[in-house]
Amino acid sequence: MNPIWADDKGVLRGHGSSQVIDPGTGADRYRNMLDELRRSGRDLAFASFTFDTAANGSMVDIPESVSGGPLATGTSIGPLRMVDDGVEEWHVGFEKAMLEIETGRVEKVVLARQVTLEGMAPIEPTKVASRLATANPGCYTFSVGGLVGASPELLVSLRGGLVSTLALAGTATDPVELGSAKISEEHRHVSASVTAALGLHMTGVDLTEQVIVPHGNMSHVGTRIAGPAVAGTTVADILADLHPTAAVAGYPTSAALDLIREVEPASRGRYAGPVGWIDSNGDGVFAIALRCGQIEGSRITLYSGGGLVAGSEEKPELHETELKLAPMLEALGQR
C-alpha cells in the first residue's frame, strides 16, 4: 500500500520499496522518525502515529521515491455491510463521561465512536483516498498503513522556517450555532493548549485569527496561528509538545486521556493521532487523523468523535458523530 498525502499544495505519493519503521512510544517517537529518515538516506517519510502516546502501532513509511500528480478519479468501492454501528457502546461511554464531568474530574473529554463495515473483497486504500480527495477539497487527504481519511484539521506545518496551525473545536450544521456557550467553552480549551505548545517553538506570532471552517454539511470554529520558528526547530520537535491537543483529548489533558482509556470500548489506534509527512531537513506537514477509517483486508473501522462539556446533551452529540462519519461513508459508497 503506497502512502498518499494530498492537500491544497498538491499530491505526494510514495513509490517503490518502502522502509517501514515502528518509531516506538512516548514523545521520542517523533525524533525517532526523523532520525530513521536521515539514516535511510532518502528524502521524505510519511508517518501516522497512535492517538495515545503510550500505545504501540505508530508507523513511519520511507518510500524509495516520491512523486506528485493527480489521484485517479471515478473509482468505485464494492458493497459493504454494517458489522457494528457502535451506538450502544457510545451511549454507555457518554453516560460515564458526563458523570465524570459533573464530579469535576475533567472539564472536557472527547468521546469517540467506532463503526465497523465489511465487504466481500479487500478494500483498496488508494480508491478510498481518491474518492475522499475529490469530494473534500480543502481537507488533508491521507493513506498511510491502511489508515485513510480526509481531515479538516491541520495540526502543524513547518515550511521554510514558518510555523502554522489551524486548531478546530466546535461543530454545527448551522454556523449561527457556533456562537453557543458550549462551543465557545470547547474552543477556549483548544486554543489555549495549542497556543501554549507552539509558543515553545516560535520567536513570535504573526497571525492569530478565528475563522469558520466549512466541511461538507458541517462548520467548525477554528483559530489560525502562524509565525517564525525558533532556529533549528524541526516539525518533530513541535509534534512532541503539541499532541494531543484538547480538540481530540480534552482538558485537563492527562485526566481526559485516563478517562478515554476507561470509557471507550477499544483502542483508537491511529485515529486522532498525527498523520502527515516529514523531509530530511525537518520540515513537514501533519494533520490530525479525523474523518478516517482503518482498513484491515475486507474490513474497515470508521471513527468519529465529539467534545463533551458540562451541559452536553446526548441526542445532539450522537448526531454530531453521524455528521462526522458522513465523508467516509460517502467515499465507501454507503450514502
The residues assigned a catalytic role are 108, 153
One DSSP character per residue, 202-266 reads BS--SEEEEEEEEETTEEEEEEEEEEEBPTT--HHHHHHHH-S-TTTSEESHHHHHHHHHHHSSS
Rounded to the nearest angstrom, the gap between the alpha carbon of residue 223 and the centroid of all alpha carbons in its chain is 16
117 vs 302: CA distance, rounded Å = 8
91 vs 239: CA distance, rounded Å = 32
Between the CA atoms of 157, 160, 163 and 165, what dihedral angle is there, to the nearest 10 degrees? -30
Helix or strand (DSSP H, E) at 13 = strand 10-15
User: Taking the CB of residue 169, how many other CB atoms lie within 10 A of it?
Assistant: 28
Residues in the chain: 335
46 vs 249: CA distance, rounded Å = 23
Burial class, 103, CB count within 10 angstroms (exposed 0-12 / middle 13-18 / buried 19+): exposed
